[in-house]
A = this chain, B = another copy of it.
Amino acid sequence: MAGNSFGSIFKLTTFGESHGPAIGGILDGCPSGVKIEIDKIQRDLDRRKPGQSSIVTQRKEADEINFLSGIFEGTTTGAPIAFVIYNTNQKSNDYNHIKDSYRPSHADLVYDKKYGHRDYRGGGRSSARETISRVVAGAIAKQFLSSIKFTAYVKSVGDIELNKPYQELDFSNIESNPVRCPDKDLAAKMESYIKQIRKEGNTIGGVIRCVIQNIPIGLGEPVFDKLHAQLSKSMLSINAVKGFEYGSGFSGTRLKGSQHNDLYNNDGTTKSNLSGGIQGGISNGMDIYFDVAFKPVATIMQDQETINKKGAIVIIEGKGRHDPCVVPRAVPIVEAMAAITIADFVLLNRTIKF
Contact = CB atoms under 8 A, between A and B. Distances in A.
A258 B294 contact: no
A105 B299 CA distance: 43
A106 B352 contact: no
Interface stretch (A46-54, A56-64, A170-178, A227-235): A227-235
Interface residues of A, number: 150
Contacts of A80: 2, 4, 13-15
Interface in A139-172: 144, 156, 158-159
> Can you tell how many copies of this chain the complex includes?
4
Contacts of A248: 242, 295
A26 B3 contact: no
A267 B257 CA distance: 49
Contact of A252 (B8, B16, B119, B293): B293
A105 B261 contact: yes
Interface stretch (A37-45, A184-192, A277-285): A277-285
Interface in A197-226: 197, 200, 202-207, 217-218, 220-226
A98 interface: no
A96 interface: no
B266 A307 contact: yes
A77 B118 contact: yes
A215 to B, nearest CB: 12
A300 interface: yes
Interface of A: 1-6, 8-9, 11, 13-17, 20-22, 24-26, 28-29, 31-34, 68-70, 72, 75-82, 84, 102, 104-107, 109-111, 113-119, 124-126, 130, 144, 156, 158-159, 197, 200, 202-207, 217-218, 220-226, 228-230, 232-237, 239, 242-250, 252-268, 270, 274-276, 279-284, 291, 293-300, 302, 304-307, 311-313, 347-354
27 contacts: A1-B29, A1-B351, A2-B78, A2-B351, A3-B221, A13-B28, A16-B82, A21-B68, A31-B351, A31-B353, A72-B124, A77-B119, A77-B124, A109-B268, A111-B280, A111-B282, A114-B282, A116-B354, A156-B253, A158-B255, A205-B255, A232-B244, A242-B250, A257-B296, A257-B297, A264-B305, A350-B351
